[in-house]
Chains A and B, each alone.
Chain A
Amino acid sequence: MGEVSPDLQSRVVKFPGGGVLVAGIDEIFNWARSNSMWSLTFGLSCCAIEMMATAASHYDLDRFGILFRATPRQADVMIVAGWVSVKMAPFIRRLYEQMPDPKHVLAMGGCACAGGPYRDSETIVKGVGEIVPVDVFVYGCPPRPENLIHGLIKLQERIREESILGIKSREPITVGG
């Protein structure tokens, strides 16, 4: 999550009791942000079909507050579902840039995480981690809806630990296939 505007950051930490104030605000912000992770509909291929099945009536992502927004301007999470080709890579980078902070990326499926079965293909980028910083890797080909929901819950927990003062350590979480 991005740092707060510079002028506030410096003053609030030195302010006696500032820490408590920030923690209070963190609590509220993280509670709101983790329970309303709007995700950018960014279905590339087969994992997108599984993502739709997860979002539909049987597995239902709405109960987690996860809504699919078509425009990056209103999205917090970018779920990259599918293999990433060299021709598509610059657009993924641009879409990631155009998402407002705080933003996260969940790489869904073996192809998005590490290139999947296409090791010897000329036009496939071996993992979206090379284009955008990824928070959660969900393996599987395609990962079952339960795996995806597990990955999303892990992402919610990570958002709860964040602070508006700055991002803590961010090594990615991996959810098994």
Chain B
Amino acid sequence: MMERDFGSALRTALAGLPEGAVESLEVSGSVATLRVNLGSLRAVLESLKSFPEAACDFPANLTAYDTGEEMFLVYRLASIERGWQALVLCRVDRSEPAAPSVTDLWPGFNWFEREVYDMFGVRFEGHPDLRRILLPDDWEGFPFRKDYVSRPSGSPLRGPQPIDRGAQG
């Protein structure tokens, strides 16, 4: 029962979008996983937020991950009244990562977007104040990218030291 009306609500919510917008949609329990292409990311998120049936108005989580070959953005939105969540995955070009900002839809994502920019270098267009949030402002490079080379630090006491025991696993 739960899955059927959540899945159907989502499909009707996303009906108005162009054909290739949502690559895949599966629902398991109260969590729907959508894979969306970058072009229509903003449209999908807007429809998820505004559609009365699937009113995902709670910004639960926004992050990104880099597998070395491709980089993904992960949005997790929840609808508190209906008790379901939508996990939106969206592939981003690794060399020039950029994405539409959703801070105007959910102010809660303001700092999450700044952190993703700080760590992955994803430029969010339309973000009111995109700067580093956790690292010192003069830090070069984006540490969470797989191709990030740890900066050789001057004194031995700073910067990463190799882990001696075989933790690399």
> Do A and B have CB atoms closer than 8 angstroms in the complex?
yes
Residues of chain B lying within 8 A (CB to CB) of residue A122 = 143, 150-151, 159-160
Residues of chain A lying within 8 A (CB to CB) of residue B166 = none
A-B CB contacts (within 8 Å), total count:
30
Least Cβ distance of B58 to chain A in Å?
A: 29
Residues of chain B lying within 8 A (CB to CB) of residue A87 = 135-136
Which of A121, A125, A127 is within 8 Å of B160, CB to CB?
A121
Which residue of B has the minimal Cβ distance to A123? B135
Given contact pairs A86-B136, A87-B136, A120 touches B163 in the complex (Cβ within 8 A): yes
Q: Is the CB of B161 within 8 A of A120?
A: yes
Q: Is the CB of A126 within 8 A of B136?
A: no
Q: Write out, one digit per residue, whether chain A residues 121-147 have a CB within 8 A of any chain B CB (1) or not (0).
A: 111011100100000000000000000
Interface of B is mostly: loop
Number of B residues whose C-beta is below 8 Å from A? 14
Residues of chain A lying within 8 A (CB to CB) of residue B136 = 86-87, 123
Which residues between 101 and 116 of chain B lie within 8 Å of chain A, taking CB atoms?
Answer: none
**Contact of A93 with B by CB under 8 A:** no
Q: Is the CB of A130 within 8 A of B155?
A: yes
Which residue of B has the minimal Cβ distance to A115? B157
Q: Write out, one digit per residue, whether chain B residues 148-166 have a CB within 8 A of any chain A CB (1) or not (0).
A: 0011000111111111000
Residues of chain A lying within 8 A (CB to CB) of residue B150 = 122
Given contact pairs A86-B136, A87-B136, A120-B163, A126 touches B157 in the complex (Cβ within 8 A): yes
**Contact of A94 with B by CB under 8 A:** no
Q: In the complex, what distance in Å separates the CA atom of A127 from the CA atom of B155?
A: 12
- Listed by A's residue number, 16 A-B pairs whose Cβ atoms lie within 8 Å are A87-B135, A87-B136, A119-B161, A120-B160, A120-B161, A122-B143, A122-B151, A122-B159, A125-B157, A125-B158, A126-B156, A126-B158, A126-B161, A127-B157, A130-B157, A130-B158
Interface residues of A (CB under 8 A from B): 86-87, 115, 119-123, 125-127, 130
Interface residues of B (CB under 8 A from A): 135-136, 143, 150-151, 155-163
